[in-house]
């Protein structure tokens, strides 16, 4: 069982290129991925999405990517020759028209410092090399995230198992109590009829009324389905596959069966048990929201 909450971070350096990948996930009905990375790395998004989809089934995932290229060929300096010549000619012209007889101290370095004569530009990235770097960092970050999800999932599994056990105990209590409700109804009906008509109770009519009541309030099928759902949950808790959606469906069915029992019941102890069952199922549902 895996939680949908986790965090992983990895730093990888290969051949002068450095990348840091951080991955954070929280619960979500589907797999929803959001990226935060420099614009010039947007070509990585498809590869990152595939890597995440291969390892995660559900959750909102935030991905943060930082990158540095420390290779000697990562940057280049370009010379604007036309602008360089324009500066030289402009300075010569100034020197000729100047009335102040200023010293002409032009040097190569002085003119190179003029705006935009030299410009530093980033070299075109080797996309295959950067994608390989991303995959290495992403794998490590996702492994950390999944390890955290697994640890939290184990704690959730223990809690959920305890709640399912409680649901099973209350279901057994309802099942054990039900025959007593039929007998109690028989005695109440017999007492009420005797009070109205005296001791001359028509046993056949009384039994017919009891049978009708028992049929209307029969909860055998609901008990069977509740027990079946409990067993399915226990089996799913041991499944290596993502189980969140299937468990969510089963919990809805649990609630449906308990509501049916509550509507049929004319017995106060069973009604109280269904209230407790609903409370436990709601706690179960809340916890399930973070299971992958």
What φ, ψ does residue 124 adopt, rounded to 5°? -65, 130
- Predicted local confidence at residue 187, as pLDDT: 63
pLDDT in tens, the chain (292 residues): 899 999 999 999 998 899 999 999 999 989 999 999 988 899 999 999 999 999 999 999 999 999 988 877 767 788 888 988 898 888 888 877 766 677 777 888 888 888 888 887 776 778 899 999 999 999 999 999 999 999 999 999 999 999 999 999 999 999 888 877 766 666 666 665 555 555 565 666 666 665 666 556 678 888 999 999 999 999 998 888 888 888 889 999 999 999 998 888 777 888 899 999 999 999 988 888 888 8
Range 69-80 burial, b when 16+ CB lie within 10 A, else e: beeeeeeeeeee
**What are the CA-CA distances from residue 61 to residues 46, 52, 179 (Å)?**
15, 9, 52
Task: Collapse the DSSP code of 197 into the 3-class scheme (helix H, G, I; strand E, B; otherwise coil) and give the result.
Answer: helix
Q: What is the pLDDT of residue 128?
A: 92
Position 7 scores a pLDDT of 97
What pLDDT does residue 209 have? 63
pTM: 0.69
Beta bridge partners of 118: 79
Contact 167, 251 (CB under 8 A): no
pLDDT, position 13: 94
Tokens of 118: 């030299």
Closest by CA to 229, choosing from 157, 173, 162, 281, is: 281
pLDDT of residue 124: 75
């Amino acid at each position: 069982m895996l939680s949908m909450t986790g965090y992983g971070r990895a730093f990888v350096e290969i051949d002068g290129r450095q990348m840091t990948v951080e991955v954070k996930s929280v619960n979500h009905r589907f797999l929803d991925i959001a990226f935060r990375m420099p614009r010039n790395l947007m070509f990585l998004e498809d590869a990152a999405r595939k890597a995440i989809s291969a390892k995660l089934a559900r959750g909102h995932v935030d991905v943060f990517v930082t990158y540095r290229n420390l290779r000697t060929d990562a940057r280049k300096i370009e010379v604007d020759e036309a602008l360089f010549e324009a500066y030289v000619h402009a300075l010569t012209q100034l020197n000729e028209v100047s009335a102040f007889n200023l010293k002409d101290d032009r040097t190569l370095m002085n003119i190179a410092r003029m705006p935009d004569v030299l410009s530093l530009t980033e070299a075109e990235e080797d996309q295959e090399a950067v994608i390989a770097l991303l995959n290495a960092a992403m794998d490590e970050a996702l492994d950390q995230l999944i390890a955290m999800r697994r640890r939290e999932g184990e704690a959730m599994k223990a809690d959920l198992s305890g709640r399912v056990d409680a649901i099973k105990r209350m279901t057994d209590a309802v099942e054990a109590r039900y025959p007593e409700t039929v007998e109690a109804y028989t005695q109440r009906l017999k007492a009420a009829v005797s009070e109205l008509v005296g001791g001359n109770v028509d046993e056949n009519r009384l039994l017919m009324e009891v049978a009708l009541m028992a049929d209307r309030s029969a909860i055998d099928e609901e008990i069977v389905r509740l027990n079946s759902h409990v067993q399915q949950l226990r089996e799913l808790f041991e499944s290596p596959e993502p189980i969140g959606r299937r468990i969510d469906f089963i919990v809805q069915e649990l609630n449906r069966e308990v509501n049916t029992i509550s509507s049929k019941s004319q017995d106060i102890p069973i009604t109280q048990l269904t209230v407790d069952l609903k409370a436990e199922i709601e706690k179960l549902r809340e916890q399930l929201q973070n299971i992958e």
